[in-house]
Amino acid sequence: MVAVAGRCFYIPPVTLALYSRDILRLAASIPHHSRLEGTRVSVEKSAPICGSRVVVDVVTDGEGRIVALGQEVRACALGQASAALMGAHAIGRSPAELAQARDSLAAYLSGAREDPGGWPGLAVFADARRFTARHGAILLPFEAVAEAAARAPAQ
């Protein structure tokens, strides 16, 4: 049993490295964790293997950069941690930067690259690389925000 931010989690010994204290802290601190009201673009993504689901709402400026973000996250601790890292750094990013972050994270998880790219904090998923069934949940927030930003009209 591990307690983080007032929440208790049971972690079997075999996956203790996967659900580290850092992952659990992130999972308990998702920024922008509510849907946006009004005019926005929304994208919903789900991971069929684990049932994780993320809805991301964005509003962009005249250059296509995100100026407002909302997210509804129903995911495992890894998906929640990923949503926390995405949400902490998405404001001000362009569709190209978000697509690059998504692609770098996917390549890192699959072993196609040795570093997770320039998005802050993604190295926390190093132990998850060998758990391919968890990759979908980790990628969800980045897939959703990249798609939403690409579809959003410049305001």
The count of domains in the chain is 1
Decide: pTM greater than 0.85.
Answer: yes
For residue 34, the model assigns a pLDDT of 94
Q: Give the DSSP letter string of the chain.
A: -EEETTEEE---GGGTTTT-HHHHHHHT--TT-SPPPSS-EEEEEEETTTTEEEEEEEEE-TTS-EEEEEEEEE--HHHHHHHHHHHHH-TT--HHHHHHHHHHHHHHHHTSSSS--SSTTGGGGGGGGG-GGGHHHHHHHHHHHHHHHHHSPP-
Residues of the chain short of pLDDT 50, as ranges, are none
Q: Note down the domain range covering 74.
A: 2-151
What CATH number does residue 56 fall under? 3.90.1010.10
